[in-house]
Amino acid sequence: MTSATIDRAPFGRLSNGSVIERVTLRGGNGFEAAIIPFGATLQSLKIPDRNGHCDDIVLGHDECDGYLAQRKFFGATVGRYANRIAGARFVLDEAAVSLDANNGPNALHGGPQGFDRKLWQIVELTDSPGPTLVLARTSPHGEEGYPGSLEVRATYRVRSATELSVTYQATSDRPTIVNLTNHSFFNLNGARSATQILDHRLTIPADHFLAVDGSAIPLPEPPRLVDGTPFDFRTPTEIGSRIRLNDEQLRLGRGYDHNFCLGSEPGIRLAARLEAPRSGRVMELLTDQPGLQFYSGNFLDGSTAGKGGRLYRQSDALCLEPHAWPDTPNRPDFPSARLDPGEIYRRTIVYRFSTV
């Protein structure tokens, strides 16, 4: 489908010959989002700055081969369980479930071949109620060790000239766990910018965060208060202002790589606000998820060449990932990630942009 608001074009091929397309959804004033079905990935997101100049603000690759060659999660949909599960195991209805470990002893982002490494199918393209792309896949029972055949949909929609939403929906034929999110790396000065995100001002309206051990698994304790710690982002705070403080949690994560507890209020609400003083771009992230993982790009090490041939290094971008709390299947004191037959898993992320 090609129209004023939607464009569909070839982007690359898998080794088996399957075509990977690139679908571009356009709003107004140069605002556009490009998605590839490989990993249900947000490949590009162009946003105007305070002077009306549009830049792509998400890290990634200009060509398909970059996504196929290395697993870096740039813009990808991660699942069946985003973040980590301790020991790559949990118990569900008194039955032990063993997963495929891929992060030391733990399972991370769905295992070695998670949703980000799968080719999703384009099942719907429409201009109404806004330029919309729906992608779908079936995750078979036992994939990466997870129980249940899971029918999954990811819906990308440009809701206005300044807003993109991502909605994940899933059903299962037997009890399982589900936790999906988008893993975009943001730099509001531009993906090709020579600037880092340490001067970005971040607000996260959360009173608590989860302290972790050396393998990034939450400690066996209640959520910690952010008050008096480098994790207090309840008012706008420069990311670089406290990232190098002598704090045990910052040492363990090599920076920020922690879940912020958003509360249990129903409905979509503000989870983060990010402002870039240089470009004037502002991103508000709204969600109905109970947690937000803030990752300050600590493990970008210059080994990956991205858009424009730029080598991505530490703090070149950040991730704000709304999802269930990490290791929830092993923590009955955490909000549940369980999905039973007859139920519908549905979670939404809204990225809303403006300038100052």
- How do residues 135-146 score in pLDDT, each as one tens digit? 999 999 999 999
Q: How far apart are CA 356 and CA 71, in angstroms?
A: 35
pLDDT confidence tier of residue 128, bands split at 50, 70 and 90? confident
pLDDT at 1: 65
pLDDT of 9 > 80? The answer is yes
pLDDT at 266: 83
Tens of pLDDT along 288-334? 999 999 999 999 999 999 999 999 999 999 999 999 999 999 999 99
Q: Annotated active-site positions, please?
A: 183, 321
pLDDT of 279 > 90? The answer is yes
User: In the chain, pLDDT over 90 holds for what percent of residues?
Assistant: 96
Tell me the domain boundaries of the chain: 6-355
Listed range (3-12, 283-292, 337-346) with the worst mean pLDDT: 3-12
pLDDT of 119 > 80? The answer is yes
pLDDT at 226: 98
Tens of pLDDT along 152-165? 999 999 988 899 99
pLDDT of 3 > 80? The answer is no
pLDDT of 2 > 80? The answer is no
Question: What's the mean per-residue pLDDT of the chain?
Answer: 96
Tens of pLDDT along 227-276? 999 999 999 999 999 999 999 999 999 999 999 999 878 899 999 999 99
Architecture of domain 6-355: Distorted Sandwich (2.70)
